[in-house]
Amino acid sequence: MQCYIYKIGYLRGKVLESEGKYHEALTTYNESLSYYPRHFELRKAIGKVHRILGDYDKSIDIFKQLLLPSPISGELSFEIAKSYYADGNRKKALEHLEIVLNVWKDADATYKPAIEAREKWIQWNQIN
């Protein structure tokens, strides 16, 4: 049973997150991480919640750590871009968003994350 505790915690954290209970979700995610410290989706969820809670540096650090094994990830670079943008660092956000757009340049036209990235590129470049 213990091998599934992290999965249960991950799903419970997602429910809490969907209810707007971000601090509780973060606590649940961190507890679950103790059972499986390398769980990718769990660590990614923790990074997103840190961004939502305004801890942008922690969010960026988590996503950069996740990038180490595979430095060319559109998904993780997009999360970093969103964290920089939320922190008010538009220049760094656009640098990472450019990486995302390069990675996803040949993405299927219906791939929602690529569509969102292109929309963010337009939106973030229109701001003075």
Alpha-carbon gap, residue 5 to 47, rounded angstroms: 20
Rounded to whole angstroms, the Cα distance separating 5 from 15 reads 15
Region 17-34 average pLDDT:
96
Higher pLDDT, 36 or 102: 102
pLDDT tens per residue across span 32-44: 999 888 889 999 9
The answer to whether residues 41 and 10 touch, using CB atoms and an 8 Å cutoff, is: yes
Q: Domain 2-126 class?
A: mainly alpha
Torsion of CA 72, 76, 77, 81, to 10 degrees: 180
pLDDT value of position 128 = 59
pTM of the shown model: 0.91
